[in-house]
Amino acid sequence: MLGRNQGGAKLLIAVVLAGFALSKYYCSSSFNDITGESQHISISPDQEIAMGLQSAPQMIAEMGGEVKGTAYDELVRRIGQRLVTQTEAGKTTYHDDFEFHLLADQQTINAFALPGGQVFITAALLSRLTTNGQNIDENMLAGVLGHEIGHVVARHSAEKLAQMELAQGLTGAVTMATYDPNNPNSGYLAQMVSNMLQMKYGREQELQSDELGVRFMLQAGYDPERLIEVMEVLKQAAGPNRTPEFQSTHPDPENRKEAIQAAIEKYRGK
């Protein structure tokens, strides 16, 4: 009898925890003029900007430092700023806070953005954005930076934070309802719930940033077809043993090509 009462109490607590997490998530809503969508976000743009500025030095240090005083980092900054000043991105709250960084990392092929406008590209990726193996293709670079600007103005980091808070809340509720002290592996179910929720949104955000990147490239006078070539660069860099799309937060480059082509047809001529 006592065990049944304990089980009922655990279930009640789990329901309360889940209800609180869901209520907090769905009651925090903000409309995004760039995407035309309502988002569940619990922090302000000023908080995003502060988070990005605070995190930037650590990211730079972890990736071999920042390249400064060369034609390459000047190119990254110039194209980045053109993509902001000549597009809708320049009309957002973040317009004065964008900063573009070339990281010295020669091994990691990557580009990413922190909340609020700190945008990074590694030297390893930049060196692959060429038309003839020598000169950097400005259109390809614009595609990479436009994609990262898309993450910022779509407020994906803030959206992701809210999703993670929801996942943590639901994970706690599932753990409370299913945990068996005699079976420690019962906690794996809760972790699976959290991981599945977060993976789903990651892929959607990447595809949305590709579409925004196409919009910004067209508005700034760049050729968005070159963003498709960037996908080929990423595909070749990953090699034949790529992680299946379902198990990754990034869509497969081949699937991204199709979405990018659809976005080009959608926005070209507008």
- 61 located within any domain: yes
Interior/surface letters 61-82, b for 16+ CB within 10 angstroms, e for the rest: eebbebbeeeebbebbbebbbb
Q: Taking a C-beta distance cutoff of 8 angstroms, is the pair 242, 113 a contact?
A: no
Query: Of how many residues is the chain composed?
Result: 270
Per-residue pLDDT at 14: 53
Spatial separation of the C-alpha atoms in residues 46 and 93, rounded to whole Å: 9
Taking residues 189-209, report their average pLDDT. 62
Gap between the terminal Cα atoms of the chain: 69
| pLDDT at residue number 148 | 96
Burial class (CB in 10 A: 0-12, 13-18, 19+), 126: buried
Q: 2 lies in a domain?
A: no
Within a domain: residue 66?
yes
Ranking 27-31, 41-45, 107-111, 264-268 by mean pLDDT, the lowest is: 27-31
Contacts of 264 (CB under 8 A, 6+ apart): 214, 224, 225
Query: What are the φ/ψ torsions at residue 59 (nearest 5 degrees)?
Result: -65, -40
Examine residue 3 and state whether it is found in any structural domain, yes or no: no
Most confident residue range from 28-32, 159-163, 177-181, 228-232: 228-232
Query: Which tens digits make up the pLDDT trace of 201-227?
Result: 478 889 999 999 999 999 999 999 999
Inter-residue contact 178 to 118 (CB < 8 Å): no
Structure tokens at 148: 């990262």
Q: Is the pLDDT confidence value at 193 over 80? A: no
- The yes-or-no verdict on residue 145 having pLDDT over 80 is yes
Contact 174, 14 (CB under 8 A): yes
Domain count of the fold of the chain: 1
pLDDT in tens, 17-60: 555 455 555 555 788 999 999 888 888 899 899 989 999 999 99
CA 17 → CA 2, 5, 11, 123, 139, distances in Å? 23, 18, 10, 45, 49
- Is residue 1 included in any domain, yes or no? no
Mean pLDDT across 103-124? 94
Give me the mean pLDDT over the 249-255 stretch: 72
Q: Is residue 220 part of a domain?
A: yes
Domain span including residue 152: 11-18+22-267
Percent with pLDDT over 70 in the chain: 70
Ranked by mean pLDDT, which of 11-25, 30-44, 116-130, 239-253 comes out on top?
116-130
Rounded to an integer, what distance in angstroms lies between the CA atom of residue 109 and that of residue 124? 5
Residues 6 or more apart whose CB falls under 8 angstroms from that of 70 comprise: 102
Structure tokens belonging to residue 141: 């670079």
Whether 31 maps to a domain, the answer reads: yes
214/217 Cα distance (integer angstroms): 5
| pLDDT at 237 > cutoff 90 | no
Average pLDDT over residues 221-244: 82
Average pLDDT value over all residues in the chain:
81
Assigned domain for 261 exists: yes
